[in-house]
Structure 1
Amino acid sequence: MLERFRRFLTHYGVKDTAVVIGVSGGPDSLALLHLFIRLRSEFGLSLAVAHVDHMFRGAESALEMEFVKDFCRNHDVLCEAVQIDVPKYAEENPEMSLQSAARECRYSFFESVMKKHHAPFIALGHHGDDQIETILMRMTRGSAGTALAGIPEQREFAGGSIIRPLLSADKREILEYCSLNHLAPRFDPSNEKLDYTRNRFRKQVLPFLKEENPKVHGRFQYFSRTFKEDEEFLQELSKEKLNTVLKRKEKHEAELDIDLFNTLPMPLQRRCIQLILNYLYEDQPSSLSSIHIESLQSLLSHTHPSGSLDYPDGLKVIKSYQTCLFTFEQIKDQSFSRTVQIPSSTVLPNGHLLTCEIISGKPDEWIAGNDVFVMPAKSLTKPLLIRTRRQGDKIKLKGMNGTKKVKDIFIDAKVPVHRRNSWPVLEDGSGKILWLPGLKKSSFEDAGCGAGDYVVLQYKEQ
């Protein structure tokens, strides 16, 4: 173990620096501290211990704190110990489990100790058996992405790094090390209770795996390392592809081009969805799993043009033709109605700009495309009104006999459902719909013969 520990410190550059060590007093963290003490001089390390009494077990856990303090005094190591009333903290934060509350309090304290001692590293005592349990638990729960790689040997934390030098060792080795070095660690009786998922994996699943292969922890650690490397490579590819299929990305919304998305290989599709979710969720809910990704892939690949999914914490995913919208915004009333002054410039609620001006002479160069509408000023019935659609709206399209429902135009043009309620409609003072800006013109557009004044309206992005 000592030699593997030495190789680990060399590999991660833990030399001539300060290191904080999280020590509970149990065999794992005590062995970790003892190994650091043995190599302290060789690697030029300044050591400090961080210990948290979570106050779950009253006098028993308080005695463990005194044990850690005494051990540190006897080995000339600085010790930062604190008591935190985690049960009270969990009561004040009912959305958190006791274990989550304990972890949040513990890591917050670790961060403060690192800053106090200007330490770029905090070492924790997770070992190979912990790795097996973590990977199996996450697989069972339906985790996705790098979470399936389990516990990393090193990860960024508080401006520095968390390191876990004991992941190559299993519990048996650690207990043997404690025995050989007369360390007399303390044991937390809660680790024996089957109330916790991890304990059930430890007591019921792990022994079977150990029977099949006594060094199974080494295989899981190899899987963790290689899976993480593969996943990081695929994540980079996914980020590149996401830039090509994402139409829009804002703080609480994202919009995906479904046709382009469906051209991606399935592994990249899954990771692109995960990247979008990582971006939208500030704190990703634990209930979010691979099932949500699979259901979205199914929705996007289905031939039906529309559909929706409800994700945790109010995230709604809406498919409409070639567009998929991810939004936390509730679908609310987006209607508006405004008089258009002549001339004027109006910013519309959908973010586009509508300009209106008078020009003299023949306006032929203006009339191409659906982003411009032209009428002789003398034939215009005022006032002009820009508004959102109303039930039963119809328009007499240019070059067509009769009228067509605005609703059917939206459907034919495959306008996403979530955009239809904010799409502008221009009507004149008699109530005739003249123009669906950017989409269709009515037969009332008239460039005339060039004489007189013309009203020219333009619709464009800001």
Structure 2
Amino acid sequence: MWKSVSTFVDQYKLIPFNSVVVVGVSGGADSMALLHFLDSMKEARNLTLVVAHIDHMFRGKESEKDMMFVKEQCERRNLLFEGEQIDVTSYKELEKISAQVAARDCRYAFFKKVMEKYGASVLALGHHGDDQVETILMRLGRGSSMKGYAGIFPKRLFNNGHIVRPLLSVTKDEVLAYVKENDVRFRHDPSNDKDMYRRNRVRHHVLPLLKQEFPNLHQKFQSFSEQIQEDEQYLEALTEKEWNTVIKSKEKERVVLNRKPLLLMAKPLQRRGIQLILNYLYNNEIPPSLSSLHIDNFLSLLESEHPSGSLHFPKGLQIIRSYHECILTFDKVESDAYKFHLEVPGVVTLPTGDSIISEIWTHAKQEILQNNQAAFDVSNTSTPLYVRTRMEGDRIKLKGTNGSKKLKSIFIDCKIPKLKRDTWPIIVNENNEILWMPMIKRSSFEATEETVGPVLVITCKMSQKFGRQQENE
């Protein structure tokens, strides 16, 4: 095992010389074998090892004994030790997620904290070749992205450094032979013997049959993983170039996409582009519960003939489509109604950041009014005036016609994004009659060329933007 792992470490440059390495150690055979291996090479590479152990508190006193065992082993080896007990069950119930996902979240948060404490750039974990086979099989079974089908990476970005897995080149049997040969003590977790978890069922019943038929199975799966990773690196670079036309805006927790150019791309680039955006939003830590089904649903939403729709992804990510714009955001989407008294003259600043200004002019010809202004005969305008959001059943008497039209229909006809309709300002008089839909439609209440005398001019300064000016239609 020593030779295989050493070659693998050098091939992928997993353990840099003169580095601080945090080693995730549960106390089981795999992690204790990894710790022994790294401890044996620390002087040659001038490594500082920090052992990190988390007690998930699933097994009461037994898991507490695991932590004490790891701590004692570190004291014997004169290694730095960081241990923590975390009530994962409470976290699981709070977040409404599975026990395995909750344990993973807590574990990696702890590892990150330890790395930052010691300024470590490497986190070493004890996954071996059999784990690689199990992971790829399970992802093929449940569905994943092509990157997901590549399984466990020998080295990947994490925090301000990398996660490395030196034991991927060897099997579980080789690990057990190594600990026996080197008299490495370890603890046994009885939960690994139970078939209540899918991974355990695959490990106990599927993997032995496959290994019997294909003795070098782990090597073939590792080779498959590496080929997928190489292909993905090339296609991701191509995707990033193509997606420059798709991304309209990109913030830390919010990305806005342009639907049209996305749908013109080849399907493989669509999928990879979505995956890249998800990686960005999830900060390269996509939840295990997010699968290929989510990507399929995303594409279906984009391809749908219906102009709007939404999806809810893990950890509160919302996917909101409105016409040819698609928003991915962790922000809570607000659609709170409002109503404000508009003084004459006066200014109202709205929750959206828009502002409505009212002024009295001695006269106003239509040709000098801007698109964001409307004028009303003071003598024929009922006050007080209000700025509010739309209400059920709202209708506007349109300028130049004898009829009225529902605001809902106007928003749809003018392709106003669904998210903006509930906060769009509407100007009404004391009788709740709609005087103006700023930037969209004018009403029959507006002043005409024949109007004589002072006029009320209302100006709308909007932070919201959309593609077409509709007022003059």
Q: Normalising to structure 1: TM-score of the pair?
A: 0.79
What is the aligned residue count?
A: 457
Q: Counterpart of 1:296?
A: 298
Shift of 1:198: 1.5
Q: Counterpart of 2:420?
A: 419
Q: Counterpart of 2:36?
A: 34
Shift of 1:276: 5.7
Could you give the per-residue CA deviations for residues 81-126 of structure 1, whole angstroms, max 9, x where no partner exists?
7574x6x552575346554555556556555655565543332221
Structure 1: distance between partners of 2:253 and 2:213:
48
Structure 2: distance between partners of 1:176 and 1:294:
44
Q: Counterpart of 2:89?
A: 90
Q: Judge conservation of contact 1:149–1:225 (CA < 8 Å) in 2.
A: yes
Q: Counterpart of 2:442?
A: 441
Structure 1: distance between partners of 2:203 and 2:361:
81
Q: Counterpart of 1:265?
A: 266
> 1:58-457, aligned counterparts within 5 Å?
76-78=77-79, 80=81, 82=83, 84=85, 89-91=88-90, 93-94=92-93, 95=96, 97-100=98-101, 102-103=103-104, 106-107=107-108, 110-111=111-112, 114=115, 118-144=119-145, 146-157=147-158, 159-183=160-184, 187-231=188-232, 234-235=235-236, 244-245=245-246, 256-274=257-275, 286-309=288-311, 311=313, 317-324=319-326, 329=332, 334=337, 336-360=338-362, 363-367=365-369, 369=371, 371-377=372-378, 380-428=381-429, 432-446=433-447, 448=449, 452-457=453-458
Q: For structure 2, which runs of at least 5 residues remain unmatched after alignment?
A: 464-473
Q: For structure 1, which runs of at least 5 residues remain unmatched after alignment?
A: none
Shift of 1:161: 3.0
Q: In 2 relative to 1, CA 246–49 (structure 1 residues): closer, same or farther, beyond 3 Å?
A: closer
Name the aligned partner's letter for residue 176 of structure 2.
L
Q: Counterpart of 1:16?
A: 18
Q: In 2 relative to 1, CA 279–357 (structure 1 residues): closer, same or farther, beyond 3 Å?
A: farther
Q: Judge conservation of contact 2:25–2:53 (CA < 8 Å) in 1.
A: yes
Could you give the per-residue CA deviations for residues 64-88 of structure 1, whole angstroms, max 9, x where no partner exists?
66765676666x442527574x6x5
Q: Judge conservation of contact 1:80–1:113 (CA < 8 Å) in 2.
A: no
Q: Judge conservation of contact 1:47–1:77 (CA < 8 Å) in 2.
A: no
Q: Normalising to structure 2: TM-score of the pair?
A: 0.78
Q: Judge conservation of contact 2:146–2:232 (CA < 8 Å) in 1.
A: yes
Q: In 2 relative to 1, CA 177–427 (structure 1 residues): closer, same or farther, beyond 3 Å?
A: closer
Structure 1: distance between partners of 2:428 and 2:55:
71
Q: Judge conservation of contact 2:21–2:121 (CA < 8 Å) in 1.
A: yes
Q: Counterpart of 2:2?
A: 2
- The root-mean-square deviation of aligned C-alpha atoms, in Å, is 4.1
Could you give the per-residue CA deviations for residues 397-455 of structure 1, whole angstroms, max 9, x where no partner exists?
33444333333322321233443333323344566533211111234444637975443
SS at match of 1:167: helix
Q: In 2 relative to 1, CA 400–221 (structure 1 residues): closer, same or farther, beyond 3 Å?
A: same
Identical pairs, percent: 44
Structure 2: distance between partners of 1:254 and 1:137:
31
Q: Judge conservation of contact 1:360–1:454 (CA < 8 Å) in 2.
A: yes
